[in-house]
Amino acid sequence: MSDLDAFRAEIRAWLEENCPAEMREPVRDEGDVCWGGRNFQFKNEAQKTWMERCAAKGYTVPDWPKPYGGAGMSPAEAKIWREELARIGARPPLSSFGIWMLGPALLKFGTEEQKVHYLNQIARGEIRWCQGYSEPGSGSDLVSLQTFGEDKGDHWVVNGQKIWTSYADKADWIFCLVRTDKTNKYQGISFLLFDMTTPGVTTKPIKLISGNSPFCETFFDNVVVPKNQIVGELNRGWDVAKYLLGHEREMISGAGGGDRLNAIGAVVARNGLEDPILRADLAMFDVDALAYACMGEKFLDEAKVGRAHPAQPNMMKYAGTELNKRRHELLMSAGGATALEWESERTNGGSPSRSWLRTKANSIEGGTSEVMLNVVAKRILELPGA
């Protein structure tokens, strides 16, 4: 038995013993996702147990180093971990922007002290993070952001407004892009971390076409941020932001796995599938979805060993989000009038239609499809003047 086979056997045995049966059911809606954080209400005991058992072994962030709360798995081991989770249909023990976005940025740009402090909190699900990037006047053109941090010696005083701040009303801390030099566009932004309970921070949920409010407007009114809460160098926050955006795009692309990579024809057909043209569209979708799942696997394999093109997450994000939108268009068509129900119990409060509407943001948030295509054209294809 090779080392990896032994490792797989070990993981399999551990999961058998420690993954509660309730956590081996597919995630049905937002309420089934374990986000962690100071104010997080676990849906049930199993969700709490599952997160805590994983955190104790470093399995919430399997490939992070052990001193930072991870399990120190190699790329091959982390792949086995994902495969074994998928084999028993286990839910992710913990999902968070801390894991997907801030964590990788801290691992690359954080001080040792920051890594030990923040990463362990993330790994244990203690602190829930949100991301302060977009502003009302700075969407695709993010670098034009205006939120300003005035230097006051041992701290900054931050004033401004962010928008589309996902779950800002539920988050404990924010990682935030703040202008610290008004004379330099790219090299005048710093990457700051601060507590959402700091005086002067307010949030206001934005009601979306889905009727839900996953995004907020976030206002900063003379918010005091100590100087040790900067990641990377002063005025070089754009480097951190770009690096982190790569991880965000990777996350939105669904490359890490999850529902959006699945074929849907078989699920739809369970409720009957009488329309041959819809069936044909579903089959063509399934071809694309199953192929994209391979791309997700390939991309992760290559990224882990540094073989992926640095701009490849942009391609993944583009393809994955366009696919997910198509997926929900088909699910709506397949669901017929039932899928139109907005509040009924049998649709779990309009889950099909609300999910369908939610997916329309996929190709806007974290960089629009058009921006992704621009980046691919410029950085991968090296087309002129792009």
Partner 1 sequence: MPLYHTEDQAMLAETVTGFMADEGGIKKQLRHYRDINCQDGFGHALWKQFAEMGLTGMLAAEADGGLAMGHVEAGIVLREIGRNLTPSPFLTTSVMGVTALSGGSDELRGRWLPGVLSGGSVLAVAVDEGPKHRPERIACKAEKAGNGFRLQGRKAFVVQGASADAIIVAARTSGSDTDNDGITLFAVPKDAAGVTHENLRLVDSAMASNVTFDNVELDGDCVIGEVDGGRELLNKVIRAGRIGAAAELTGVGQGAFDITTAYLKTRKQFGQLIGEFQALQHRAAHLYSELEIAEAAVIKAQQLLDGNSEKADLMVSVAKAKAAKACNLSVREGVQMHGGVGMTDEYDIGLYMKRDRSLAEFMGDQYYHAERVAQLSGY
Tokens of 56: 């104790």
# chain residues binding partner 1, by CB under 8 A: 46
Q: Backbone phi, then psi, for 181, in 5-degree steps?
A: -150, 115
* Stretch 361-380 residues interacting with partner 1 (CB under 8 A): 370, 372-374, 376-378, 380
Binding mask 18-57 for partner 1 (x = CB under 8 A): ----------------------------------------
Residue range at the interface with partner 1 (CB under 8 A); choices 42-50, 87-95, 288-296, 345-353: 288-296
By CB under 8 A, name the one of 76, 143, 234, 364 that touches partner 1.
76
* Stretch 298-327 residues interacting with partner 1 (CB under 8 A): 298-299, 301-302, 305, 307, 315, 318-319
Residue closer to partner 1 by CB (options 208, 377) is 377
Residue length of the chain: 386
The rounded distance, in Å, linking the Cα atoms of 268 and 330 is 9
The rounded distance, in Å, linking the Cα atoms of 371 and 386 is 11
Residue range at the interface with partner 1 (CB under 8 A); choices 131-139, 166-174, 239-247, 260-268: 260-268
Q: Backbone phi, then psi, for 213, in 5-degree steps?
A: -135, 65
Residues facing residue 203 across a β-bridge: 218
Q: For residues 299 and 316, is the Cβ–Cβ distance under 8 A? A: yes
**Residue written as token pair 């239609």:** 353
Residue closer to partner 1 by CB (options 48, 309) is 309
Residue closer to partner 1 by CB (options 194, 292) is 292
By CB under 8 A, name the one of 181, 288, 329, 341 that touches partner 1.
288
CA-CA distances (angstroms) from residue 328 to 24, 260, 323? Answer: 24, 10, 9
Helix (H, G, I), strand (E, B) or coil at 113: helix
Cα dihedral 100, 105, 107, 109, rounded to 10, equals 180
Residue closer to partner 1 by CB (options 11, 255) is 255
Helix (H, G, I), strand (E, B) or coil at 221: strand
Tokens of 25: 């059911």
By CB under 8 A, name the one of 280, 338, 342, 344 that touches partner 1.
280
Q: Backbone phi, then psi, for 240, in 5-degree steps?
A: -65, -45
Residue closer to partner 1 by CB (options 6, 294) is 294
Which residues of this protein are in contact with partner 1, per CB under 8 A?
75-76, 79, 263, 265-266, 268-269, 273, 279-280, 282-284, 286-288, 290-292, 294-295, 297-299, 301-302, 305, 307, 315, 318-319, 370, 372-374, 376-378, 380-386
